Amino acid sequence: MQVNNKYNIGDKVYFINTENKAECSVVKAVFVYVYKDHTSVTYNLESGMSTVDEEDAFATERDLKEHVFKDLIEFV
């Protein structure tokens, strides 16, 4: 089995925290969960928020903003 995660230990990631605010933190561990029908990757972070799912983590602040505001931008 081969797992292709987007980020590695030491990488910075941008995400929305539990208070719905944008935050940046460094990955300190990578968790891979293998199920019968899919695989899930979760990152443990150095910040107060302990983990973030791969689909909710972004490489840049701009990528996070585009994800959050995409529907609004398309609407206008």
For residues 15 and 6, the answer to whether their CB atoms sit within 8 Å is no
State pLDDT tens for residues 42-70: 999 998 768 999 999 999 999 999 998 88
Q: Residue 75 has what pLDDT?
A: 57
**Cα 5 from Cα 44, distance rounded (Å):** 13
Q: Residue 47 has what pLDDT?
A: 81
Tokens at 69, concatenated:
């505001």
In a domain, 45, yes or no: yes
The CB density around residue 38, as the number of other CB atoms within 10 Å, is 7
Residue 61, domain extent: 12-75
Q: Residue 49 has what pLDDT?
A: 63
State pLDDT tens for residues 21-46: 999 999 999 999 999 999 999 999 99
Distance, CA of 33 to chain centre: 15
Q: Are strands 22-34 and 12-16 parallel, antiparallel or unpaired?
A: antiparallel
In a domain, 1, yes or no: no
The total number of structural domains in the chain stands at: 1
In a domain, 25, yes or no: yes
In a domain, 55, yes or no: yes
In a domain, 7, yes or no: no
Q: Residue 15 has what pLDDT?
A: 95
